[in-house]
Amino acid sequence: MTRHARVERAALCDTLLEVGPDAPTLCGDWTSGDLLAHLIIREGRPDHAAGILVPGLAGRAEQAMADLRSTTGHAALVDRLRQGPPRWHPTRVPAVDEKVNLVEMFVHHEDILRADLGAPRRSVSPQMVSALGDRLALMGPMLFRKTRGATIEIATAKRWTRVGKGDDPVVQIHGRPGEIILFGFGRQAVAEVELVGPPEAVETVRTTSYGF
């Protein structure tokens, strides 16, 4: 079985080495070095990683990231990320890794690649597209849970999935799985998707604050 999460992790690490620690990203004012530190803290220090999800603990995570960057060089941090999580971490199990890390690595890789809005898009293999499609099929309801005033239909080449119920007008999101994932993670400005539906509902979906 191809471990797509590992493939994407390696590709992200190659990009991080290429751009260095000071490249812009789509994650607010974070640089590529900040994003790298975030990923290492996320899977290596659960005591600090709680700040990623709990706003009241965000300062702890930010301080841990700053400390990590100040004590360890960029290349060494990239190597640490490339090696994967500690031996005790659940994502050492391949099936768990695919579920937890494929989308995380993909989205943050694109956060670096697409920070330059004029940069050409990379080519994603059909196998990776299919793996992302499998994740999208499971994650769709969570990604678009904030939608109000519209019912989402996710339309890819292989699947057509409705998210939500009720009498709200339907907005179809057409695109490759990775692009729809980026849209659902709040990267609407760079996601290459087509929204089809009543204009007001389309505008609602286009401007909803998706992401985590």
Q: CA angle 154-156-162, nearest 5°?
A: 25
Q: What is the pTM of this model?
A: 0.90
Tell me if residue 8 falls in helix, strand or coil. helix
Question: So what's the pLDDT on residue 60?
Answer: 67
Per-residue pLDDT of the chain (212 residues; tens, 9 = 90+): 679 999 999 999 999 999 999 999 999 999 999 999 999 988 866 654 444 444 555 566 788 888 888 999 999 999 999 998 888 878 788 899 899 999 999 999 999 999 987 788 899 999 999 999 999 999 999 999 999 999 999 999 888 888 877 789 999 999 999 999 999 999 999 999 999 999 999 999 999 999 87
Task: Name residue 175's amino acid.
Answer: G
Separation CA 173–CA 154 (nearest Å): 5
Question: So what's the pLDDT on residue 167?
Answer: 83
Q: Class of 126-207 per CATH?
A: alpha beta
Q: Which residues contact 25 (CB under 8 A, 6 or more apart)?
A: 31, 32, 34, 35, 108, 111, 112, 115
Task: Name residue 200's amino acid.
Answer: E
Tell me if residue 163 falls in helix, strand or coil. strand
Separation CA 124–CA 8 (nearest Å): 10
Domains of the chain, residue spans = 4-113, 126-207
For the range 93-96, what are the long-range contacts, defined as Cβ-Cβ under 8 Å and sequence gap of 24 or more?
Answer: 94/1, 94/3
